[in-house]
Structure 1
Amino acid sequence: MLLVLAQPASSQPGSTAALAQAAKLEGSKKYESAYQILDKADPKDQQPEVFLQKEKLLLDYYLLTLGFRGFALKDLAPGETVEQLRGKEGNYNMHLVDIPQRIGQLKKRFPQDYRLHKGLADYYYQMVMCHCGQGDKTDAELLNLVVKNYEQAHAHQLGDFMSHYAVGYAHLVQNQAQLSVAPLEKSIALNPQYPTSHYNLAYALLQLQKPAEATPHAQTAFQLYTEPDLKADAARMLGQLYSQQQQPAEARKMVQQSLELQPQNYASLRSMLELAVADRSSEATAWATRLYQLNPADDQMFSDIMDIYQAQNQWAEAESFFSGQVAKAPNTPEAQGLLHFYVAILNMQLKRPKVARPHFLAAQTHLKKVSKPDNPLFQTIKRGLAETKP
């Protein structure tokens, strides 16, 4: 008695020529023409290899999408790129394709063609990245579909550096740092020149409190990135990693490099202030000023600056900095109110209630103009006024 197993589908003779012709057109950025060639070769989507190539064209080169069920393609003119045109209106051909449904039908006919699992994972991963379509599924459900389908493909040696990266990414964004390590390492083994695999592996190891292991990957990401914002992110991560390893000079160097690329970055300025305050550097005030000036009406900024000085038991230095801004602060209720509030709080910490009281009163006057009565700041102000009553 023979047991007949369904085998992965092979291309029909005509489709082999169509695949070759479509690949040539794709290389010339003739994406709509490439799709038309494949659609004519397999109009009812009966051949896995042809459909998966059609899916690739739709996912990689769409210019507009309708709920990730419709995909607009175009033959690009010289000098045009998908990145330039994506999301912009234009004269495109729209293809309505329910990719999960088509792949589901093919899987029933070819249950051992695990390329279809990879194709389905590709679809869900791209959906996660573009934040569009599939409104009936949560992000967690989509990420689980990415992992489930890629892992089935990987179990049958059907994977590449991006599919392993996607599994690592899916685990990482679900706060599963330990599970993300192995697929990210595999991605790097397959393509050590892809910087984002190094960056996310460094981030995972940072989450796992393994800064020494994370550092080489963050360094590699910094070296490989060419886009300024991504390079700045890698430099900022290196600054954090060096700080955790008690290497302040190296940390300062990397954070300064991130600021050269992003001079107004909040996280980098905050890191430079932390390093300066820890060193009792004369530059601390300058870094605090730069951070403050990003948005003088940002409560989080006030809290961060105070916490940084507090961590080093430098209450007087924090009070001196904020008091020094009173004459220069924007004349808006929120900026003035928050500044007076924090000056009052710091003076209470320094046991100077007489100095604190007028700032509590000023904070109350200004914040009443912009804040709701149930704002917790008013409860603190009320207690402060009671404690400082003459």
Structure 2
Amino acid sequence: MQQQFRVILITLIITSFIGIPSVLKAQSNIDSLLEQGQYLTAFEQLNECSQLSSVDCILKKVDLALNYYLNSYYHRAFSFIDLRPGEDLEQLRNEKAFGATPIAFQIDSTLLELQEKFPEDSRITKALGDFYNRIYQDFGERWGLSAEQLLEKSNNYYQEAYSNGVYDYYSLYVLGYYQSLFQNYFEAQNWFLRSLKLRPNEPLTNYSLAVTYLFDGLPQKGVEHATRAFHSYNDSLNKSDAARISGILLLKTNRTQEALSFFQKADSLHAHYRPTLLYLVVASLQLGNDSLIIENGSKALNSDLYAPQVAEELNSLFTKEEKQALLHIIYKRALQDNVNDMEACGNIHFHYGKLLFTEGQKQKAKRMIKKSRENFHVIFDDSHQVFEAIEQTLRHMKEAR
């Protein structure tokens, strides 16, 4: 009996070790096909896969489907292609090229069925979190569930996987992002910090952590992460956002000259963006450099001469710092430079009048508002809503006497 048991045991051991090379070979073959851009062939082989375990095989299929498709139909069906030399998958996607006949692959139901068979394998749980997060990112509510439902599903699966020791830097980031949506900044910061332990220079995580520190009233902690995000981003738009957040945090810590430098960087990367231009004005006002104040104030105003929000914000900022005289210069120059643009002149006269009124120059203010009305009458008919705003302002000035 003992001899028979030994034979069975030895046979099992030998069989298991014989199987390992074949599994590794199958895995290596799939990876090789992906490296060569043979995505259709790789998916077909995974469909016929018998050497990999069912969990490994399906998780690999999910990864391939979500990351290497040519066309996706709400991530419920996918078409693939074997790239030819010189072809690029992303370029073909942008050109809306067509691959093989779409293959139906209901990832969520497939993973849920797999989870029922292998409830102890938390890789499946994390894959479900990945899937619902990807749906949220790519389709949102167009997929059939609300954004809130998708985020909640993703968060719950990631939480469960984490509790069983399965996570990566991105799942930890998403857990932090979810908490930040509910203004649970302390919890969000803890998740982001865990994520950064795995990938310290990840720009999105550093940026998000910096923002939570800003909202949580801890700007001194946020500066390091905002500047790290700035140095880590490669694309100009995200780099500009990180520079602006760096500047805001530096302003909050009274490092105004450094803040100005970051706002200038942000503007050079993404020109004419209103929030950046207004922060340039704020930093200039705090530094008390009159020429810089006029330069950046003019730049902000000229970025959109027709937008009332810009002039309203300038009135507020300059009044707060008691620098209205410099804003007079900015408005006068803008009127001279745009003398033939009636809409621009109308907008400037209107807000110049409101500024004068706050300074107690009521008669000048009234004349300026009436000049605004004359400008707008050149281009708008009497039914335009701007005239109602002008009349309301004049009535307010009259009542305030």
TM-score range, shorter chain: 0.7 to 0.9
Change (3 A) 1:77 1:376: farther
Contact preservation (8 Å) 1:46, 1:106: no
Residue in structure 1 matched with residue 335 of structure 2 by the alignment:
326
Residue in structure 2 matched with residue 3 of structure 1 by the alignment:
none
Deviation readout 1:200-228 (Å, 9 max, x if unpaired): 11111111111111111122222222223
Match of 2:317 among 290, 308, 333: 308
Please say if 1:62 is aligned against 2:91. no
Residue in structure 2 matched with residue 363 of structure 1 by the alignment:
372
Deviation at 1:266, TM superposition (A): 2.5
Instruction: Indicate the percent of aligned positions where both proteins have the same amino acid.
Output: 22
The CA distance in 2 between the partners of 1:376 and 1:309, in whole Å, is 26
The CA distance in 2 between the partners of 1:388 and 1:204, in whole Å, is 43
The CA distance in 1 between the partners of 2:91 and 2:340, in whole Å, is 42
Contact preservation (8 Å) 2:135, 2:143: no
Please say if 1:144 is aligned against 2:144. no
Deviation at 1:377, TM superposition (A): 2.6
Deviation at 1:378, TM superposition (A): 4.0
Please say if 1:341 is aligned against 2:350. yes
The CA distance in 2 between the partners of 1:182 and 1:82, in whole Å, is 37
For residue 119 of structure 2, give the secondary structure of its aligned residue in structure 1.
coil
The CA distance in 1 between the partners of 2:333 and 2:392, in whole Å, is 23
Deviation readout 1:27-63 (Å, 9 max, x if unpaired): 2222222111101226xx9922211111111112233
Residue in structure 2 matched with residue 32 of structure 1 by the alignment:
40
- How do 1:61-140 residues align onto structure 2 when only pairs under 5 Å count? 61-93=68-100, 94-132=102-140, 135-140=143-148
Residue in structure 2 matched with residue 259 of structure 1 by the alignment:
267
State which structure, 1 or 2, has the greater radius of gyration over its C-alpha atoms.
2
Residue in structure 2 matched with residue 216 of structure 1 by the alignment:
224
- How do 1:204-283 residues align onto structure 2 when only pairs under 5 Å count? 204-281=212-289, 282-283=291-292
The CA distance in 2 between the partners of 1:249 and 1:304, in whole Å, is 22
The CA distance in 1 between the partners of 2:141 and 2:97, in whole Å, is 21
Change (3 A) 1:367 1:156: farther
Contact preservation (8 Å) 1:343, 1:356: yes
Deviation at 1:346, TM superposition (A): 0.9
Between Structure 1 and Structure 2, the one with more helix by share is: 2
Residue in structure 2 matched with residue 51 of structure 1 by the alignment:
58
Residue in structure 1 matched with residue 175 of structure 2 by the alignment:
167
Aligned-residue CA RMSD (Å):
2.8
For residue 159 of structure 1, give the secondary structure of its aligned residue in structure 2.
coil
The CA distance in 2 between the partners of 1:175 and 1:262, in whole Å, is 28
Match of 1:297 among 282, 295, 306: 306
Match of 1:381 among 393, 396, 399: 393
- How do 1:151-190 residues align onto structure 2 when only pairs under 5 Å count? 151-190=159-198
Contact preservation (8 Å) 2:140, 2:146: no
The CA distance in 2 between the partners of 1:87 and 1:356, in whole Å, is 55
Length-normalised TM-score, structure 2: 0.85
The CA distance in 1 between the partners of 2:165 and 2:32, in whole Å, is 27
The CA distance in 1 between the partners of 2:81 and 2:387, in whole Å, is 53
Q: Which runs of 5+ in 2 are unaligned?
A: 1-15
The CA distance in 1 between the partners of 2:321 and 2:350, in whole Å, is 21
Change (3 A) 1:174 1:108: same
For residue 103 of structure 2, give the secondary structure of its aligned residue in structure 1.
strand
Equivalent residues, number: 377
Length-normalised TM-score, structure 1: 0.87
